[in-house]
Every structure is written in C-alpha cells, then in structure tokens.
Amino acid sequence: MSEKVNITSKGIQKVLKNYNEKQAIAEYIWNGFDANADAINIDYVTNELGRLDSLQIADNGYGINFERLQQKFDPFFESEKAIQIVAPKHTSKMHGRNGVGRLTFFTFAHNATWRTTYQDEKGFHRGTIQINTGGLNSYEAAEEPVSEKQTGTAVTFTNLRISEMDFEQGVIPFLINEFCWFIELNHHKKMQVFVNGKALDFSTNIKSKEEFELLYADTGFKFKIKYVHWKESLHKELSKYYFLAGGEEIYKDYTTLNKKSDDYFHSVYIDSDFFRDFDFKSFENEGQVALFGAAKSAPEYRFLIKELNEYLKNKRKPFLKEYADRLIDTLEQDGIFPKYVTEREREVSKSRLTPLIKVLYEVEPKLFSSLSIDQKKMLVRLLDFSLKTDDKQGVFNLLSEIIQPDEEDGDDLREGLSISL
C-alpha cells in the first residue's frame, strides 16, 4: 500500500527545520511512551570511521494498528499547518499526540523503516512502514506474517549522518535532560531507556531530592511531596507541579518560580487521594464552584500551594546566593564595574556596590540575565552612582517599582542601599 499527499517533502522539512537530531531521536522515544511502553531500547552499530551504520529505537508498546494507519499518517501530510509538535500543557500523557515526530528522521538519516506488531479482537498482526528523506510526503506500508505474539514497534534508521561521538556526547545527555522529569513522574512504573543494553542513568541530572508529607489537620488529608532540583534545563517541560492520585498523574501546572531567568530548574510531585475527584478547570477567581469533588478554592488546596510556594522560595534562596557570587565574577571578567581613580576608591565603592548587585539579583534575576554588555555597564554604573547620593530612599522607591519585592526582599534591598530599617 502506497500513500501520497499534496504537501511536498521539502515543505515538511521546511516546517520542521528547527528540529535537530537530538530532538528528533527524543520524539521517537516519546512515541514509544505514548504507546504505553515501559522500556525503550536504543541500539546502534558503528563503522571503523566512527560513524553510525544503523540505529534502531524499539519499544514494547501497543504498536501501530494498520486498520487506522491512514488516521495515523495522513493528517500530518494534509498541509504545513497540520505539522506541529506541541507538548501538552496540563498533562504528560500523549506527549507526541499527533505523531508528527515520525517525520523528523530526515535530520540525521535518509531512510526509516517501522516494524510493528499490534493486537486487536482478531489477534496479533504485524506490518512494516517505510519512508525516506526524498519522499517524506509518502509512505509504503505492507502487512507481514506474525512471527511473535508480543506487541511493540521498532524503527530502524539507515544512511545516517551522525557519529558515535555526536551520539554519546550530544544525544545521550540531551535524552537524560529531556526525560528525567518524566521517569521520576512514572517512578512506580519502572520505566527505562536502554542504549546498547545499558540503562540510562537519569539521576545524573539531579542536584538534590527531598520527600516529605504535608497534613491538612482540619480534614485529615495528607499530601506526599517529592521535590527534585535539577542541574540542567528540562527543555520545553520547564518547572512544574505534578498532581497525582495513587501514583497516576491527574494534572500539572507551572510553579510560581517558573521562568524567573535564574536557572532554578525544579519539579514537585504531589500525591494525594484529595485529587481523585478534583476539578482543576474551575476558576476560583470567578467564583465558579465544582459540581463534583474539590476545586482550587478548597482550603486544602490553598493550604498546599501556600506551603509549597514558601518551601520553594526557601529552597531557591541559597541557589540564588550561589549564582549571585558567580554573577559578580562574570561582571568582573566582562569589565562591567566602573573605572576608579584610585585603588582606595575602588575598594570602598565595590564593597558597597557588590552587596547591592547581589541583593538585586536574588530578588529579580531578570534584571541582569536579559541585558547586553553595554546595558549591564549602564545599570551597574547607575547603581554605583545611587550609592553616592543622599536620596537613597528615592532610589529604593524607584527600584521597588521595577522589581516589586516582598517585605523580606524589601528589607534586604534597604540593607543593600544602607537605609536604616
């Protein structure tokens, strides 16, 4: 069976041009997890030049049903607008739900062949699907005799444009950061990813981890909390709360410290029976009441989020202090600090300027993270000048309007400006 559609192969590559080999390989793994697999096997063979001769990604999921093959593939080929890879916002299920990740192999290989075994009411079935880079807008599919009664899919890539070094030093670290939060989320399912028979160690991206319980005494609801501070970015996933019941994810949402431009990557997993009938879609600000179960307006939920927000803020403080010290070193190396006439003036000015910069970074990292070298020079010189004025309260008021510190941060800022508390 051969299928072809209107959009051209080059059109597909144009739409997916922002994907590289690391992201593409990750999409094939997501496809396996979306098919309810708990084991993904990545196997490759290299040649004497250190290039990959072949690469296979196999899973033990439910396979690709040939009865619905057109539904699986044709929507991706109808138009350029149909080709999108978007991570779901409030659930981790069906990450690659439109399956278009199957087309991204052109970033690292010329040919892709799927061999899949699936089961329906008639029994087990097996088939192959083939696509090549020159014909991304078409596919060849054929059914085969069933050789084993075990569902799953294995996709083999040939004519590869990737080296063993690229795979080991680029792809594998990328996969660890891409899936570490997901593996932690599904810890009870014992999911694993193997590379040439060796399990990937996702814990290498963990900076710290803590587990504890919160109890809402009035109703007796318990919340089991697992907090993970990651060393490096989680890519598109960002920092989130995961709400679970009996180990199964119900909902997820960004934490209040997400996107603060401070590289504080974290995940918080919250498991409680309280979420079994929870209505996450109700809008407490509009006074909407959940018809069944609890909602965000429930006192238990308000208690939980308040406690966790305070917990995260306290966890973030030493992290920001550490990075504030690094910021000072970077500013020094980049020649950001003002030029002083004498060494004495330099020592006195920097002894006052450095604590203020640290406080500002700890309160609002965005002040420094998004600035160019020249903009940083201007900001630091203005701060240096402000410390020499008599109207420090006026400077405090101006900075407060910009960064809007809470009471505790405000006290730290006053101290940095040498204003009496």
CATH class of 2-200: alpha beta
Question: Are 272 and 224 a contacting pair, CB within 8 Å?
Answer: yes
Model confidence band, residue 198 (pLDDT cutoffs 50, 70, 90): very high
For residues 146 and 157, give the distance between their C-alpha atoms in angstroms, rounded to a whole number: 22
pLDDT at 158: 96
When pLDDT is averaged across residues 395-414 and rounded to a whole number, the result is: 79
Model confidence band, residue 163 (pLDDT cutoffs 50, 70, 90): very high
pLDDT at 2: 58
Model confidence band, residue 84 (pLDDT cutoffs 50, 70, 90): low
Task: Share the mean pLDDT of the chain.
Answer: 85
- The four Cα atoms 373, 377, 378, 384 give a dihedral, to 10 degrees, of 160
pLDDT reading at 42 higher than 60:
yes
Please return the burial class of 102, using the count of CB atoms within 10 Å of its CB with bins 0-12, 13-18 and 19+: buried
For the chain, give the number of residues.
421
**181 CB contacts (<8 Å, ≥6 apart)?**
228, 230, 234, 237, 240, 267
For residues 185 and 270, give the distance between their C-alpha atoms in angstroms, rounded to a whole number: 10
pLDDT at 87: 60
pLDDT tens column, 200-246? 999 999 999 999 999 999 999 999 999 999 999 999 898 999 999 99
What percent of the chain stands above pLDDT 90?
48
Model confidence band, residue 421 (pLDDT cutoffs 50, 70, 90): very low
Structure tokens at 273: 């029976």
Higher-scoring residue by pLDDT: 72, 214: 214
**Sheet (strand 138-144) strand order:** 2-4, 138-144, 123-132, 109-120, 152-160, 52-59, 39-46, 192-195, 198-199
pLDDT tens column, 265-290? 999 999 999 999 888 876 544 444 44
Higher-scoring residue by pLDDT: 78, 42: 42
Q: Measure Cα distances from 323 to 228, 259, 318 in Å.
A: 19, 16, 9
Would you list the domain boundaries of the chain?
Answer: 2-200, 203-309, 334-416
pLDDT reading at 312 higher than 60:
yes
Instruction: Look at residue 59 and give its three-state secondary structure.
Output: strand
When pLDDT is averaged across residues 313-329 and rounded to a whole number, the result is: 89
- The four Cα atoms 4, 8, 14, 15 give a dihedral, to 10 degrees, of -50
Least confident of 28-32, 44-48, 360-364: 360-364
Model confidence band, residue 292 (pLDDT cutoffs 50, 70, 90): very low
pLDDT at 290: 42
Instruction: Look at residue 401 and give its three-state secondary structure.
Output: helix
pLDDT at 252: 94
For residues 112 and 110, give the distance between their C-alpha atoms in angstroms, rounded to a whole number: 7
Least confident of 54-58, 137-141, 202-206, 314-318: 137-141
pLDDT tens column, 56-67? 999 999 999 888
pLDDT at 364: 81
Higher-scoring residue by pLDDT: 19, 183: 183
Vertex 8, ends 2 and 10: CA angle to 5°? 125
**Torsion angles phi and psi, residue 324, rounded to 5:** -65, -40
One-letter identity of residue 67? E
**206 CB contacts (<8 Å, ≥6 apart)?**
180, 228, 229, 230, 231
Least confident of 22-26, 92-96, 108-112, 166-170: 92-96
pLDDT reading at 296 higher than 90:
no
